[in-house]
């Protein structure tokens, strides 16, 4: 399949993120954007804590970041966020207070469905979680 690569910029993707209340709440900042990769940072919030005794970050935060990083890695192929069909998350290490870095990349760009993966790191560069998803990349249908 031949898909023309787009020239989206970090600012273009940040503008999409900034339109979403949830992504803004996560404090997402786009750090780098490649043809089929993305790196972003999520700014830590006290509301992320699942276990206040140990300060553990809720696993759903990791899952959301994996979903968004994998999805947004498609930005220079699709020009827009796409629907998630399936998502798998593996948790590798306990996360506590601190910003998180998510790195997403396209594994297989397909006409109908694409596969992408993402990894979540703490500020020290330790792998906290990883995952892979399937995303609907069929052409958008007119709403009319």
CB 40 within 8 A of CB 69: yes
User: Residue 143 falls within a domain, yes or no?
Assistant: no
DSSP string, 66-87: HHHHHHHTTHHHHSS--EEEEE
* Number of neighbouring beta carbons within 10 Å of residue 82: 20
CATH number of the CATH domain containing 16: 3.10.129.10
Within-domain flag for 30 = yes
**In a structure prediction context, what are the per-residue pLDDT tens digits for the chain, which is 144 residues long?**
445 577 899 999 999 999 999 999 999 999 999 999 999 999 999 999 999 999 899 999 999 999 999 999 999 899 889 999 999 999 999 999 999 999 999 999 999 999 999 999 999 999 999 999 999 999 877 644
Owning domain of residue 54: 10-136
- Domain membership of residue 62 (yes or no) is yes
Residue 5 lies in a domain: no
Tokens 């006290």 belong to 46
Q: What's the structural domain count of the chain?
A: 1
pTM for this predicted structure:
0.91
Domain contains 78: yes
Among candidate residues 68, 112, 72, 74, the one with its CA nearest the CA of residue 89: 68
């Amino acid at each position: 399949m031949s898909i023309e690569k787009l020239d989206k910029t970090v600012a273009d993707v940040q503008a999409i993120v900034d339109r979403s209340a949830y992504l803004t709440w996560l404090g997402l900042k786009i750090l780098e954007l490649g043809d089929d990769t993305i790196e972003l940072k999520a700014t830590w919030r006290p509301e992320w804590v699942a276990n206040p005794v140990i300060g553990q970050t809720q696993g759903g935060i990791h899952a959301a970041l994996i979903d968004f990083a994998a999805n947004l890695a498609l930005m220079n192929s699709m020009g827009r966020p796409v629907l998630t069909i399936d998502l798998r998350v593996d948790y590798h290490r306990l996360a506590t207070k601190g910003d998180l870095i998510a790195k997403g990349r396209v594994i297989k760009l397909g006409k109908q469905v694409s596969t992408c993966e993402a990894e979540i790191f703490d500020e020290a560069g330790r792998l906290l979680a990883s995952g892979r998803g399937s995303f609907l990349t069929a052409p958008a249908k007119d709403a009319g």
